Amino acid sequence: MDVSPRISLTSQGPEFSRIVYGMWRLNEWCLSVRERQELIEAALELGVTSFDHADIYGGYQSEELFGEALAAAPHLRKHMQLVSKCGIKLVSSRRPEHRLKSYDTSFSHIVTSAENSLRALRTEYLDLLLIHRPDPLMDADEVARAFMALRQEGKVRHFGVSNFSPAQFALLQDRLVANGMTLVTNQVECSLLHLDPVYDGTFDQAQQLKCAPILWSPLAGGSIFTDSGPVAKRIRESLTRIGEQLGESATTVLMAWLLALPCQPLPIVGSRRLDVLRESVRACQLAITKDHWFELLLSAQGSEVP
């Protein structure tokens, strides 16, 4: 059976599975506690040991659903890495103090959010905590103080960001380095339908710093397979040709395309279907040629490279 290999996000760690399991829609899957536990166990058997969460997922419910399964099988915690995110405030009956959707990267909000996630996930620590979105009012020194406090208290082991531009990443990194810490990842959107980080310096920065990015929506939320537009159609035609040549599924080829990037990204799979997870793990053993890689890129761009 193919299993996901492990990779260090930076030279100092932490070590994650190359394929990350996203829990964004866990509340929509309508699984019993036992079924959630079985899903987690199946992922671990595939070597997918890293689970991606955020406090807001499922309207502040998904972490609790995962935590219930973990409480039913606490021995599984030592075999996994838990990621959460904070910094977005949603209007929700579960957060009645929130008056409007906004961002908050204050010391108190970061610390409170992390502690809420710990309680919801039924765990004593997070392996990784990310700032979910860039906050125009972010005080980098205040964020660094919050990160330091959480680390010193043993509540969070590593820190990163999500959806940050290279400049925003560099700002916070500067403050952390001054305090003996570093960011270990930038979680960003990337797929053949969203190529921005390939060209805007995000992946160049990741490679420069040897800081592996985590990728959300690597299959464009399934749009690559369902969208009727010309771009998705061209990509599907190329996938069909390449998949037939290699004897692999479209999902495996798409994931292999991403895994070939030299910044060593870790794609997130957010499906309850284990066959999607298996096909993604299979991509870790598939080395596509540069011709295949560029054929897919050109299909997405609709023109030759300059």
Same domain for 44 and 121, yes or no, is yes
Same domain for 59 and 110, yes or no, is yes
The rounded radius of gyration (Å) of the Cα atoms in the chain is 19
Q: What is the mean pLDDT of each run of 10 residues along the chain (306 residues)?
A: 95 96 97 98 98 98 98 98 98 94 98 98 98 98 98 98 98 96 98 98 98 98 94 96 97 98 98 97 97 98 91
Q: Is residue 217 part of a domain?
A: no
Same domain for 248 and 180, yes or no, is no
pLDDT of residue 167: 98
Q: Is residue 1 part of a domain?
A: no
Same domain for 120 and 263, yes or no, is no
Same domain for 31 and 179, yes or no, is yes
Q: In 10 A of CB 91, how many CB atoms? A: 12
pLDDT of residue 236: 96
Give the end of a domain, one of 140, 172, 189.
189
pLDDT of residue 164: 98
pLDDT of residue 202: 98
Residues in the chain: 306
Q: Which structure tokens are listed for 288?
A: 């596509």
Q: Is residue 207 part of a domain?
A: no
Active-site positions read 57
Same domain for 184 and 54, yes or no, is yes
Same domain for 25 and 155, yes or no, is yes
Same domain for 159 and 252, yes or no, is no
Same domain for 170 and 249, yes or no, is no
Same domain for 25 and 123, yes or no, is yes
pTM exceeds 0.75 for this model: yes
Same domain for 58 and 153, yes or no, is yes
Close Cβ partners of 214 (under 8 Å, ≥ 6 residues apart):
20, 52, 83, 160, 185, 186, 187, 188, 265, 266, 267, 268
Same domain for 68 and 172, yes or no, is yes
Q: Is the separation of the CB atoms in 81 and 14 below 8 Å?
A: yes
Give the end of a domain, one of 189, 214, 234.
189
pLDDT of residue 80: 98
Q: Is the separation of the CB atoms in 118 and 82 below 8 Å?
A: no
Query: In one letter, which amino acid is 24?
Result: W
Residue that the structure tokens 């592996």 belong to: 212
Give the end of a domain, one of 189, 211, 237.
189
Distance in angstroms (rounded) separating the CA atoms of residues 62 and 31? 11
Q: Is residue 247 part of a domain?
A: yes
What's the structural domain count of the chain?
A: 2
Distance in angstroms (rounded) separating the CA atoms of residues 221 and 191? 9
**Domain span holding position 264:** 223-306
Distance in angstroms (rounded) separating the CA atoms of residues 93 and 257? 41
Q: Is residue 213 part of a domain?
A: no
CATH number at residue 160: 3.20.20.100
Q: Is residue 214 part of a domain?
A: no
Q: Is residue 47 part of a domain?
A: yes
Q: Is residue 194 part of a domain?
A: no
Close Cβ partners of 32 (under 8 Å, ≥ 6 residues apart):
none
